[in-house]
Amino acid sequence: MFSLAASTLSRASRRSAYGLTSRFFHASSADLAKLNVEGLAERVNLEGQNVLVRVDLNVPLSKEDEVTVTDDTRLRAIVPTTKFLLDKGANVILCSHFGRPKGQIIEKGKNGRLNPVVPHLQQLLGKDVIKVDDCIGAEVEAAASKLTKGQLLLLENTRFHAGETKNDEALSSGLGKLADYFVMDAFGTAHRAHSSTEGVTKHMKMSAAGYLLDKELKFLKGAVDSPVRPLCAIVGGAKVSTKIPVIESLIEKCDTILLGGGMIFTFYKALGYDIGKSLVEDDIVELAGELMKKAEAKGVKLILPTDVVLADKFDNSANSAVAKVDEISGEWMGLDIGPETLETFAKEIENSNTIVFNGPMGVFELSNFAKGTITVAELMAKATERGAITIVGGGDSVAAVNQAGLGDKVSHISTGGGASLELLEGKELPGVAALTEA
């Protein structure tokens, strides 16, 4: 049965010495079949061995000087795997892309050289970082061959080579000349079959998942494949078209799905409501209706907001009002979910033991329309306190949780946007599939 907001359609822990925590999940057999970094260290004496580690060093830089790192979250995320390998006596060779230089060598800025991250890495790791100006070639090979026990080498932006995103064999083999072992710890690029994520594994003796990747797989796959029920997914964002595969997959696995963000107006149009000037994808209206029917047939509670916060223009200073979803008309547009809906969402979240949050509930970049998203983030934190498993699934929802100062109050924050979505969709990630079997 379908009703609004009611829009209801009815129906472990391991703590490592390197600071990573996982709750009890029975991850799928496919995930458990891949070698992780600890398993690699058990099979091979890594002392003095070169290990190439694919990381994600895409940090934001100050717009003023294009050099100062303004958020080092991604740098801190690579510390556990890197320190583990260094402690095993391995020579660690870090490689990453940085922005989208599209095969051009750019000296500075968000698509430029990786020089700005060097001081931060040295501080975080307590080690000198040797930096080279390319990622393959004779000079890089010479630098890699000179490494001695426990040294750290940083390669240049892999996307300075146009072949990186094409999984070019020459680039893959060039990277393969630098080490015998490979560790994949860049979850955010694991859904891409690139030279530094997938192609390089063909030139390694063994390839393993780092702590960050391993944790992502256990949380995200574990949450949807073997959840502690009831399982609730909170799905938001501007466009339903980008979330259709995720919603379809979640309908197969969830007990409850809460919808928010601009996408809800496409569902309202499918229900025959006037949506005023609200965002809508007319070519998706019919499919939105089919998704509601599919959830009903599966006995899944698919909950749409019953009230929204309206504005007369897309601006923080706009006139605003709260209205029932069947009362929208004229020039008004919906920019956030309403208070009645938040009460409904709070009850559903309180009754769930595994909660996945992907996508904002409104235009959270505008402070007057951020309450829905911030409140959901607070409800996630509250659920974590009582022992629920709470996962923030990448993208804007991560920014919202961090903006609310609640990043450390949920069980897991995913580091991947597209990768998180594809994993939730049930897709196999090329950067994971290429790893050595456990």
Q: Which residues contact 334 (CB under 8 A, 6 or more apart)?
A: 262, 264, 265, 275, 276, 278, 279, 308, 309, 310, 311, 328
CA distance 400 to 407: 9
Q: Are 426 and 31 in contact (CB under 8 A)?
A: no
The string of DSSP letters for 36-54 reads BHHHHHHHS--TT-EEEEE
CA distance 282 to 241: 10
* Catalytic-residue membership of 395: yes
Q: Which of 176, 261, 262, 395 is catalytic?
A: 395
Q: Are 58 and 96 in contact (CB under 8 A)?
A: yes
CB burial class (10 A; 0-12, 13-18, 19+) of residue 141? middle
Q: Which of 110, 166, 239, 294 is catalytic?
A: 239
Question: Per the structure block, which two tokens stand in for 52?
Answer: 């190439």
* Catalytic-residue membership of 387: no
User: Angle CA(349)–CA(350)–CA(353) in degrees, nearest 5?
Assistant: 75
Q: Which residues contact 194 (CB under 8 A, 6 or more apart)?
A: 97, 158, 164, 165, 166, 167
CA distance 118 to 126: 12
CB burial class (10 A; 0-12, 13-18, 19+) of residue 387? exposed
- The residue among 298, 288, 220 whose CA lies nearest residue 256 is 298
R_g of the chain, CA atoms, integer Å: 23
Q: Are 22 and 316 in contact (CB under 8 A)?
A: no
Give the strand pairing for 389-392 and 412-413: parallel
Q: Which of 74, 159, 218, 253 is catalytic?
A: 74
Q: Which residue has the tokens 């916060």?
A: 309
Edge-to-edge strand list for the sheet holding 301-303: 301-303, 256-259, 231-235, 354-358, 389-392, 412-413
E-strand ranges in 330-388 read: 333-337, 354-358
CA distance 25 to 356: 14
The string of DSSP letters for 1-28 reads -B-SSS--B----EE-TTS-EE------
Question: Per the structure block, which two tokens stand in for 139?
Answer: 């000079």
So which residues are the catalytic ones?
74, 239, 395, 418
